[in-house]
């Protein structure tokens, strides 16, 4: 049985089903196998995936974050979990695209959602919580790519020298509860409200990382980035804040690049990681050039 068949078989045999089910694969996951399941007149979303220490994905943390985010009113309910499995109520709605996020009307809805993530979720989180410090993540990826013979291993010393400069530029931070994976596809519009999904990388972090990740992943133009910063902070964007934000944006793009470098080596998911690395490395290099020019 191949990996996809094994994941589907497991999704079909969970103890939470009282009747036979037929899981329908949902494409797009890069760290999980995902399925929609009809059961008892309701739809559910099933995520199958083990811990991925290389990426800092620890499933007990994902489950705890998902439960806390639901309690905070920003994410669907967890109805079942077991090692390597999480079952959530299915949100019927439109998965946002980068083009959607670039619409000011959507950004106006996303900012309060981020504030609720950052400030409200911790009140509902039970037990220990991971931290997600992007520069430590980069140091770990650097070791993986270098030690395991990555395709671009010769680039690592130079990239890590840049990472050190970026970490210094970010400076002291305020800790919040971060989502840390703000791809447009992790925002769902049900026609009435937005939901934030997929808490694989959730943990304590600077709010600048989510803001920068949202902007870089959806390629916001500079004027919308400035609007995003000012609206989130409620204060004018100073040169110092813009530089710190821009450094974090570079770090976000470098993390996406090095995430893909590591995935090239070790992921079993059917995905063009080489192409993803190439695209994100080029985007990082452009952002780094812009940062140096400020």
Question: Under a CB-based contact definition with an 8 Å cutoff, are residues 244 and 170 in contact?
Answer: yes
- Tell me the C-alpha distance between 88 and 27, whole Å: 17
Q: Judging by DSSP bridges, how do beta strands 187-189 and 194-196 pair with one another?
A: antiparallel
Domain endpoint, select from 89, 120, 150: 89
Return the half-sphere exposure (C-beta side, CA atoms, 13 A cut-off) of residue 77. 5
Same domain for 221 and 257? yes
Domain with residue 191: its CATH number is 3.90.1200.10
Domain endpoint, select from 73, 89, 105: 89
By percentage, how much of the chain surpasses pLDDT 70? 99
Residue 111: per-residue pLDDT: 98
Same domain for 111 and 131? yes
Count of helix runs (H) and strand runs (E) in the chain: 10, 10
Domain endpoint, select from 89, 106, 129: 89
Same domain for 271 and 137? yes
Query: How long is the chain?
Result: 294
Same domain for 121 and 232? yes
Give the confidence band of 30 by pLDDT, cuts at 50, 70, 90. confident
Same domain for 63 and 108? no
pLDDT at 1 over 60: no
Give the confidence band of 188 by pLDDT, cuts at 50, 70, 90. very high
Same domain for 197 and 113? yes
Burial class (CB in 10 A: 0-12, 13-18, 19+), 2: exposed
Same domain for 106 and 196? yes
pLDDT at 149 over 70: yes
Same domain for 81 and 119? no
SS3 185: helix
Same domain for 146 and 283? yes
CB atoms within 10 A of CB 144: 19
Residue 172 DSSP class: S
- Tell me the C-alpha distance between 195 and 123, whole Å: 18
Residue 36: per-residue pLDDT: 97
Count of structural domains, the chain: 2
Question: Under a CB-based contact definition with an 8 Å cutoff, are residues 187 and 196 in contact?
Answer: yes
Residue 28: per-residue pLDDT: 72
Q: Domain limits at 49?
A: 3-89
Same domain for 259 and 141? yes
Least confident of 3-7, 153-157, 166-170, 217-221: 3-7
Burial class (CB in 10 A: 0-12, 13-18, 19+), 152: middle
Locate all alpha helices (DSSP H) within 121-206, ordered by sequence.
134-147, 156-170
Residue 263: per-residue pLDDT: 95
By percentage, how much of the chain surpasses pLDDT 90? 94
pLDDT at 110 over 60: yes
pLDDT at 29 over 80: no
Same domain for 270 and 162? yes
Same domain for 38 and 128? no
Question: Under a CB-based contact definition with an 8 Å cutoff, are residues 201 and 181 in contact?
Answer: yes
238-283 confidence digits (pLDDT tens): 999 999 999 999 999 999 999 999 999 998 877 899 999 999 999 9
- What mean pLDDT, rounded, does the chain reach? 96
Domain with residue 20: its CATH number is 3.30.200.20
Instruction: Give the phi and the psi of residue 137 in degrees, each rounded to 5.
Output: -60, -45
- Tell me the C-alpha distance between 274 and 267, whole Å: 12
Residue 2: per-residue pLDDT: 52
Q: Token pair for residue 14? A: 């969970």
């Amino acid at each position: 049985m191949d990996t996809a068949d094994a994941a589907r078989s497991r999704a079909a045999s969970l103890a939470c089903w009282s009747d036979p089910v037929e899981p329908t694969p949902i494409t797009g996951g890069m760290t999980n196998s995902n399925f929609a399941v009809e059961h008892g007149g309701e739809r559910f979303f099933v995520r199958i995936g083990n811990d991925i220490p290389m990426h800092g994905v620890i499933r007990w943390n994902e489950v705890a974050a998902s439960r806390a985010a639901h309690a905070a009113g920003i994410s669907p309910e967890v109805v079942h979990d077991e090692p390597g499995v999480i079952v959530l109520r299915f949100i019927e709605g439109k998965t946002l695209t980068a083009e959607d996020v670039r619409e000011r009307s959507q950004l106006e809805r996303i900012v309060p959602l981020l504030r609720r993530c950052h400030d409200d979720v911790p009140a509902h989180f039970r037990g220990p919580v991971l931290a997600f410090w992007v520069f430590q993540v980069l140091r770990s990826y650097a070791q993986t790519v270098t030690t395991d013979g990555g395709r671009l291993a010769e680039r690592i010393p130079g990239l890590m020298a840049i990472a050190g400069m970026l970490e210094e530029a970010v400076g002291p931070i305020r800790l919040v509860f971060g989502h840390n994976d703000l791809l447009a596809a992790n925002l769902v519009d049900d026609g009435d409200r937005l939901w934030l999904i997929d808490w694989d990388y959730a943990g304590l972090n600077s709010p600048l990382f989510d803001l920068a990740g949202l902007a870089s992943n959806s390629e916001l133009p500079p004027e919308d980035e400035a609007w995003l910063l000012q609206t989130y902070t409620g204060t004018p964007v100073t040169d110092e804040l813009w530089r710190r934000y821009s450094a974090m944006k570079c770090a976000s793009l470098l993390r996406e690049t090095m995430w893909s470098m590591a995935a090239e080596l070790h992921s079993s998911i059917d995905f063009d990681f080489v192409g993803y690395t190439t695209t994100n490395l080029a985007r990082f290099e452009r952002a780094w050039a812009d940062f140096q020019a400020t």
